[in-house]
Structure formats: C-alpha cells, structure tokens
Amino acid sequence: MRNGAWIRNVTVAGGVVVLLFLPHLIPAYYTHLLILTFIYGLMAMSLDLLMGYTGLTSFGHAAYFGAAAYAVGILTTRYHVHFSVAMLGGLIVAFMMALIFGLMATRATEVYFLIITLALGMGVWGLAYRWVSVTGGDNGLPGIPPPDLGLPWSLSDPVNMYYFVLTFFTLACFFLSRFVHSPFGLSLRGIRESESRMRVLGYHTWLHKYTVFVIAGTFSGLGGVLYAFYNRFVSPADVHITASAEAVLMVILGGAGTLFGPVLGAGLVVFLRNLISAYTRRWLLILGVTYVLVVMYAPGGVIGAMKGTFSRLRAKMIPTPVPGGHPQKVKLQRENPDEEVLTR
C-alpha cells in the first residue's frame, strides 16, 4: 500500500511537471485543445461525482456550467466589474442554482432524477434563448474580456491563459481527490451501492446526495467561469442538452467512478470534435454513433476497457493458485443489493 501511494505521488508530480512545460513544446493549436480539456474536464469530473460516485446520472449538468459562464459574461460586459468579482459571481450563481434545482432533483431516484435534471437543464436553455434583454438570446454574449491580473503578462496570450486555467484545474483536482477519498466521499459510494442499507446504517442519505449535488454544480460552474474568460463568448448552445450530453459522454467514455477518467474523456471528446470539424459538419451524428458504440461495447469506458485487458493479461501470466495455497479472493457481486434487503 505504501509503495502504491509513493508511485502514485511520483506519477502525479511528474504529470504536473510535464503539464507545466507542455505549452512550450507543442504547437499553439494543441495548447488551445488542452485548455478546453481542462475546462470541460472540470465539468466532467464534477458530473462524475454524481454519476460515478453517487450513481445519479444528470442530463442537465451544462446548466451550471452555462449559468456561471453567463453570469461572468453579464457582469463583465455590462457592469465591467473586476474579474475576481465576476468569478465569484459566476460561482455563486452556479451554487445557488444547484441549491434550488437540487431540492427538486435529489428527492427523486434513478430515472426520475435523470429526466428532472434534463428538463431543468433545458429550462435554463429556454431562459438563455428567450430572455433576450439579459442574455442576448440566440446572439449570445460576445466580447467578454480576459482577466486582467495586473501583472506584466496578459491573459489574451493562450500560453498565459493555459497557466491560469491549469492553476484552477490543479486546485480543483486536489480538492476533489481529497473529497472522494474522505469519509463523506465513501458514504456516497455506499449510497450508490445500496441506499437502503446506508439509511439503515443511520446515514441521512438525502442530505448526502443533496450536498454532493451542490458541490458538483459549483465545480461545473468553475469550469463555466474559466470557459467564459477563455472563449470570450457565451451562447445558448453552451447550456443546450447537447452540451450536457457531451459531458455525460466524457464521463462514460473515460470511465465513471474515477477522477482521471472523465478528464481523459473530456480530452477525447475535445480532440475528436476538433479533429472531425476539419473534415465534416456531421459532429452530432458522430456523437450519436459514439454514444451507441460506447454503451453497447465499452460500458466501462476507455479506462474500464484497459483495466479489463490488463487483468486478463495478468491472469494469463500468473499461474492459478493451487488449492490450499493462498486463499483466492472471491468478489461477491449481486445484481441488485436492494432487492435482497427487501425480500429478507
């Protein structure tokens, strides 16, 4: 175990060092895609808190991302506030929205949760699309200024923006990894496996679900804040169900229930979308086909598929234990743990 933690720390530190030097080694276009990966990675990681860790699939996660981006857009272009105020404002809007929507969504379970979040998300889209006097309607909000740090280097340079985004991304990763490994994070996994058992154990499961819903919404909002500053333009497309569905795809593509998976998924989706847009305008079709293929053939995502291959390879290399030797670990899996509790 100690050894594993040591290897992990070295890997993470190495990864951070590589990311620090990367924009000087790769073409500017890839720096652009990496910034987008970090931004969408924030949305995907926060969605994974709900999907992978708690077992609640939200189809409206772009709402918090978009609302925060809109808040930044409105605060900077109309009221010309300092960027830190705009950032805070964006986070507060996402937080408040999650507080209100969470009350409606977290009372429901599985499928109901999914369609309620979808409907609420599209409600926000309707607001962005029709509330023209505030949101600019279909034209969106152009001309959001990049943050002025008061330092000699300007954030209109993508490389500097890269470091700005990376800073928040790294901080969020650190916080989220502490969060999912905390006792509270573990209780969420317990709820995912069997909510009724957790309730019997004395956990206030609704409060846990509500709390993680609000945290997820706020972190999605952080992604939206950075997106507004980087993209300098917000439009209804950013809160559309397509954006929410892309976030879900990032999570399942990378592998739900890990923190790194959704970031990988975000990277794949960002690269795929940009690569494909060079050849064809049929992104939506390809998104749909990817969805179907992943669901049918790789439900565990890329990481899940790699783990599967890895463990199969390892099983081949290590000889099967002889009876009476080390007791083999037997993993018990039940299709539906709730059912058993109910029948006994």
Partner 1 sequence: MEFWIVQALNGLSFGALLFLLASGLSLIFGLMRIVNISHGSYYLLGAYIGLSLVKATGNFLAAILGAVAVVGAIGVMMQRFFLARLYRQEQAQVLLTMGFAFMFADIALWLWGGDPQRIPTPGFVARSLAIGPVVFPAYRLLVIGVGMVVAVLLWLFQEKTRIGAMVRAAVDDQEMARGLGIDVNRIMTAMFLAGAALAAFGGVMGGPFLGVYPGLDFEVIPLAFAVVIIGGLGSLQGAVVGSLLVGLVDNFGKALFPEFSYFTLFIPMALVLAIWPTGLFGRR
Please identify which residue in 7, 18, 149, 295 interacts with partner 1, judged by CB under 8 A.
295
| CA distances, 55 to each of 114, 182, 187 (Å) | 11, 17, 12
Q: Number of C-alpha atoms within 13 angstroms, CB side, residue 85?
A: 8
Stretch of residues binding partner 1 (CB under 8 A), selected from 23-31, 111-119, 178-186, 322-330: 111-119
Beta carbon of residue 135, minimum distance to partner 1 (angstroms, whole number): 9
Query: Is residue 333 involved in binding partner 1 (CB under 8 A)?
Result: no
Give the SS3 label for residue 66: helix
Please identify which residue in 42, 75, 91, 120 interacts with partner 1, judged by CB under 8 A.
120
Query: Is residue 116 involved in binding partner 1 (CB under 8 A)?
Result: yes
Query: Is residue 115 involved in binding partner 1 (CB under 8 A)?
Result: yes
The structure tokens listed for 230 are 């980087």
Query: Is residue 110 involved in binding partner 1 (CB under 8 A)?
Result: yes
Stretch of residues binding partner 1 (CB under 8 A), selected from 75-83, 108-116, 143-151, 261-269: 108-116
| Element of type H or E holding 221 | helix 205-231
Query: Is residue 342 involved in binding partner 1 (CB under 8 A)?
Result: no
Single-letter amino acid, residue 340: E
Q: Nearer Cβ to partner 1, position 292 or 322?
A: 292
Beta carbon of residue 252, minimum distance to partner 1 (angstroms, whole number): 7
Q: Do 228 and 234 touch, CB atoms closer than 8 A?
A: yes
Binding mask 58-87 for partner 1 (x = CB under 8 A): -x----------------------------
Please identify which residue in 14, 15, 142, 288 interacts with partner 1, judged by CB under 8 A.
288
Angle between helices 241-254 and 283-297 (to 10 degrees): 40
Q: Do 148 and 155 touch, CB atoms closer than 8 A?
A: yes
Please identify which residue in 8, 78, 82, 130 interacts with partner 1, judged by CB under 8 A.
130
Task: State the distance between the two ends of the chain, measured CA to CA, in whole angstroms.
Answer: 37
Distance CA 61, CA 220 (A): 7
- 226: nearest Cα among 38, 12, 13, 2: 38
Distance CA 330, CA 140 (A): 55
Q: Do 86 and 71 touch, CB atoms closer than 8 A?
A: yes
Longest dimension (CA), the chain: 76
Q: Nearer Cβ to partner 1, position 12 or 108?
A: 108
Stretch of residues binding partner 1 (CB under 8 A), selected from 140-148, 167-175, 197-205, 241-249: 241-249
Burial (CB < 10 A; 0-12, 13-18, 19+), residue 115, is: middle
Give the SS3 label for residue 142: strand
Please identify which residue in 91, 114, 214, 250 interacts with partner 1, judged by CB under 8 A.
114
Single-letter amino acid, residue 59: F
Please identify which residue in 83, 129, 169, 230 interacts with partner 1, judged by CB under 8 A.
129
Query: Is residue 111 involved in binding partner 1 (CB under 8 A)?
Result: yes
Return the residues of window 299-318 that contact partner 1 according to CB under 8 A: 299
Query: Is residue 291 involved in binding partner 1 (CB under 8 A)?
Result: yes
Please identify which residue in 12, 22, 99, 119 interacts with partner 1, judged by CB under 8 A.
119
Task: Give Cβ neighbours of residue 118 (< 8 Å, ≥ 6 apart).
Answer: 59, 60, 241, 244
The structure tokens listed for 41 are 């990675």
Stretch of residues binding partner 1 (CB under 8 A), selected from 25-33, 75-83, 270-278, 291-299: 291-299
Stretch of residues binding partner 1 (CB under 8 A), selected from 65-73, 75-83, 102-110, 264-272: 102-110
Residues that bind partner 1 (CB under 8 A): 57, 59, 103-104, 107-108, 110-112, 114-116, 118-120, 122-127, 129-133, 240-242, 245, 248, 252, 282-285, 287-292, 294-296, 299
